[in-house]
Structure 1
Amino acid sequence: MNVGESGIINIAEVNNILKALIKDGYTIIGFEIKKSRFDLTPIAVDDPLKLLDPIPLSQYFAYDFARADSSPKFLNSKLRGKKVALFARPCDTRALIELSKLKQVILDDLFIITLECPGRASSKDVVNQIKKENLDPENASGETLADKFTIQIDGKEKILKVKRLDNCGRCVKRAPSISDLSIDLVGDKIRVIVNSEKGKKIMDGIKSETDNLKDARKKYFDGLVQEAEKQREKEINDYLKLSDNERFEKAMKTIEKCRLCGQCINACPVCYCQAHGRCEIQAKRKAKELDDPVLYWLTKMTHMSDICIGCGRCTPVCPVNIPNAFFYDVMNKYVEEEFQYVSGKSKDDLMPRSMKAIKAQKAKS
């Protein structure tokens, strides 16, 4: 396949792609299943025999890694300086772009396999729904997050009352910012799209069939974006229509619940300070020099305000259900309009708070 072309492969061929990448000197950010199939964690793999077979793409597409884990965070904290191949959602690619600007990762050292992302569901919600149906979650063998959430369990398909995470419902940035291959899970098949010369080279030895799903899948994902645009506009505009006092009171009432646990910081793929054990706000909290939840939360927000990539991981990890991602979406809207900057869109765009951007702004004025 040439750059820009797509084809259909068996899921088993994905491991052959990973084996070829290992042969080319890449370390793979692969998958490890912990307590159950719903509990995926990232692991570094440089031995083909240690690749999970079958590869748990069904879970990864539906839920992502568990808790605060993500490919960019694992890369930055565990595999800096190495040639790495990783799976990434579109929001993960935006994180990689921002991390490269912060001198944390070298994009040329990466082979990026992006997901045609359907959004994410909460694995916790799925397990709870399965139990409500008097079924054993351990008997699940597959899942599909589409217009409805379908689980394959006990040899049958079951529709569960599980929705995409709120942030995924508002996500309109479903195209990757940087990618070598894209994969789209459709039943027991994988659509693969070649996005770079590196991707073309690695696909040379992989068997593929004609992609007869291209138009239907494009229509499906276009529909997701259209629905997300409506949801995003309504939720943000409903908040912005409030008076200044009403917005302030609503925000403060929500933020005051913060326990200063730091899980939102741990989950953020762009907040790299804590990945290397030197996060000041975390240090001050642990030293009990900072105990005000509002100050803690606002410090975190201002720190990340122009580089938030909208992944939404900060919301589901919050023990008191603060909709962190929603407030960042509101902030992102302001940053995009005020500075014409979309975080993670391009490696060539200057961060608004970078010295080059500040000097350029001063020169204009």
Structure 2
Amino acid sequence: MEAGSVSVKDFGAKGDGATNDRAAVVSALRASKSIVFPEGDYYLGELGRSIPSTAISLRGGRIRIRSQGRVRLIVNTIEKAVTTVFGVSSVSDLFVGDFEIVDHGGDARQKWRGAVGFMIVGQTGPSSGISFGRVTARNLVAGILVKGRTANRVSGIRVDRLVCEDCYYGVNCQENGDDMVIGSIETTNCNRSYFVYGVTGHRVSVRSMNGAQASADCLIKRYEFDTSDIVLRYFARGTRIKAPHGLVVFEQQPGPGTGAGVIRDVSVDLDVDAEASTGYPVLFRSYTHDGKPDVNQTRNVWDRIRVSGFARTAAQAVMHAEMLPAKRGRLTVRGGLLTDRSVSDAFEVDAVDG
């Protein structure tokens, strides 16, 4: 172990999957910001709106959470609420090793019931230098969720591998969470793999198997702040993929008073074979702030978008646009991907072979 590290078992944790080990883990963190979970199943108790809603808080400075062998962390959300296993705030150097996180009370079919594996918030201050090894999430609302409509930015997030089974989201970034690099998001039977807005600097690879039960599997959106500089590699397979609107969707819905929205500098490389889905592999659309379709001469801008690869669904084209921007941005299409007329009406299209 790292010098100064402590084992949660030295503070009374059993790791037997039945004993509530939450108090022991909290005590270990009070003694040292570098803790180790030996192999085992650690039950962290019931979660709800107030009993508590967060199992473990990680706040401030340099923190190390390591595992030895296979470690599973278990919670039980007992009511329809979004709860949290690890709440993260105001950290400057956080490392989390390999963990499996399970919510016995989570239900991805409901909005919203279950825990978020790692809830990273910017309300109390900025956070940076956040690294994860392999995280496996089961029956969670999201494996990783970043939020905070604030000047305090959460940035510098690195994830080796995120495996999500029967979760609502894989990764969700709500107006916060910049400079994020994820080696692989692997989702099975999840509603949506990747949903981000108001962020910049993402490099993400998504592998979606029999997921995409929501209207879109990867949703790149703009609400209050612009979204930019995203590179997404997207692989999708399965006979139960739905995504009735689109698999990768670029969507804008600026809030009142925020002006025209911008989604810019996004590259998507597709490897999609999902004939059961009626959705377009790539879809562009726009809404007014109150959720009405914004199709004619929208002020919102999509610019410097690049799409490449292979894609097949039940739709007649790979790309479709449901809006007509007043200012047409640039769309670069590689590999002969088939677009419909709506795309050439909405964009200045560059078709590049290869």
TM-score, normalised by the number of residues in structure 2: 0.25
Q: Which has the higher contact order (CA 8 A, sep 6+)?
A: 1
Q: Which has the higher strand share?
A: 2
Q: Which has the higher helix share?
A: 1
